[in-house]
Amino acid sequence: RSGFVAIIGRPNVGKSTLINEMIGQKIAIMSDKPQTTRNKIHGVYTADNYQIVFLDTPGIHKPQHKLGDFMNKSAVGTLGEVDAALFLIDAAEGLGGGDRFIIEQLKKVKTPVFLVMNKIDKIQPEALLPLITEYKDLHDFAEIVPISALQGNNISTLLQTLTKYL
């Protein structure tokens, strides 16, 4: 089995870190600066019985200029073509306007979307459930997976769950 998976999220939520953690190589460009990742970077994860091509989409965000608008359309286009999308959020920052805008874009496609709650190493465990409720109110997510991309927590569960959608 094989499939394509897009990684979507505001700048700095940890998209590049997650791709690097899953693929185990420095493929995506990591930076603290927002929007360093200008191009789709394909990383391929190969296991014994499946293969996943990851697309690190440039930030889907409220366009402020023509280039932003173009990047935005291109990201939504990508979303419609993949087998599943990982919508990454920063669990420590919580729900913001940027997330709401992305969720509006997610509603334009039929692609199953995972709510991937990253940076759980930065929050108290009891803070997770209220946050899940808040996001679930906004969209019908196919799966909800809390992770720490930086510490490598729950990444194997994420990959295992993804195989259901290939």
Q: Which residues pair with 148 in a beta bridge?
A: 153
Query: Tokens in use for 55?
Result: 């697309």
Contact residue for Mg ion among 9, 10, 37, 72 (CB under 5 A): 37
Contact residue for Mg ion among 5, 7, 13, 16 (CB under 5 A): 16
Instruction: Tell me: does residue 154 bind ligand GDP (CB under 6 A).
Output: no
Cα separation, 115 vs 94, whole angstroms: 13
Contact residue for ligand GDP among 73, 122, 136, 164 (CB under 6 A): 122
Residue 148 marked in a binding site: no
Residue 52 CB neighbours (<10 A) = 23
Q: Phi first, then psi: give them for residue 133, nearest 5 degrees.
A: -60, -45
119 binds, among ligand GDP, Mg ion, none (CB under 5 to 8 A by kind): ligand GDP
Q: Phi first, then psi: give them for residue 75, nearest 5 degrees.
A: -70, -40
Nearer to ligand GDP, 32 or 48 (CB): 32
* Cβ 85 vs Cβ 5: under 8 Å: yes
Which positions lie near ligand GDP, rule CB under 6 A?
A: 9, 11-17, 30-32, 37, 118-119, 121-122, 148-150
Tell me the binding residues for GTP: 9-16, 56-60, 118-121
Which positions lie near Mg ion, rule CB under 5 A?
A: 15-16, 37
